[in-house]
Amino acid sequence: MNRTRIKICGLTREEDVDAAVQAGADAIGLVTYERSPRYVTPERARALARRLPAFVTPVCLLVNASADHIARVLDAVPNATLQFHGDETPEACDAPARPYLRAARIGPGFDLLDFAARFPAAQAILLDAFVDGYGGGGKVFDWSLIPADVPAPVVLSGGLSPANVIDGVLRIRPWAVDVSSGVEVGKGIKDALLMRRFCDAVRQADAQLAQQAAAAAHHSEH
């Protein structure tokens, strides 16, 4: 059984990057979208990403960014995975020739299977709530809207916190989970204890899934 990967998004301070790594994050998100309260410049993103040890991935979030802005971001953080969170076409996502996540804004009537099929090159589809504006609204959406057979790895996002992430992992079994406001004391200001509690909760959910799988295997043998 694969363990659920953890991305902590919207970091703006060195000490929060260090605490996220210590808590067990697999990736950290840096928001390079100027209208976001968690915005960091490409230069600031570089300084924060440089603190990451090997095997912790920097993810740079973009919203309908120009090719010039994307080039600046990749110049600053050359090993970044990109996260497209706007109305980008498959061609726009493929153009930088970098690994990328494609955010899907889930609401009634949204066809996730069709959406995922349009972005076959995406490393994963990030599921977030449909809100006005872009970049994630910290709202939980109705998880029953997620079809079981999405043709891509799924990152569960949108209003996750230490309190609800176990339920999210057990119900959706995503490839990864993504948290931002659920581990904050203010916009862009993370709380080291909340980040640790979040990561611990994900591990707890993984342990429950492993127990269920072992029990099912044992049951099928008898």
> Which are the catalytic amino acids?
9, 128
Which pair of tokens denotes residue 41? 């410049």
DSSP state of 39: B
Q: How far is the CA of 90 from the CAs of 64, 86, 222, in angstroms?
A: 12, 12, 48
CA–CA separation, 155 and 161 (whole Å): 14
Q: How far is CA 146 from CA 62, 113, 172, in A?
A: 24, 9, 8
Within 10 angstroms of residue 15's Cβ, the number of other Cβ atoms is 12
> Are residues 155 and 122 in contact, defined by beta-carbon separation less than 8 angstroms?
no
Q: Distance between CA 70 and CA 219 in Å, rounded?
A: 52
DSSP letter assigned to residue 34:
T
Among 170, 157, 182, 175, CA closest to 207 = 170
d(CA 169, CA 202): 7
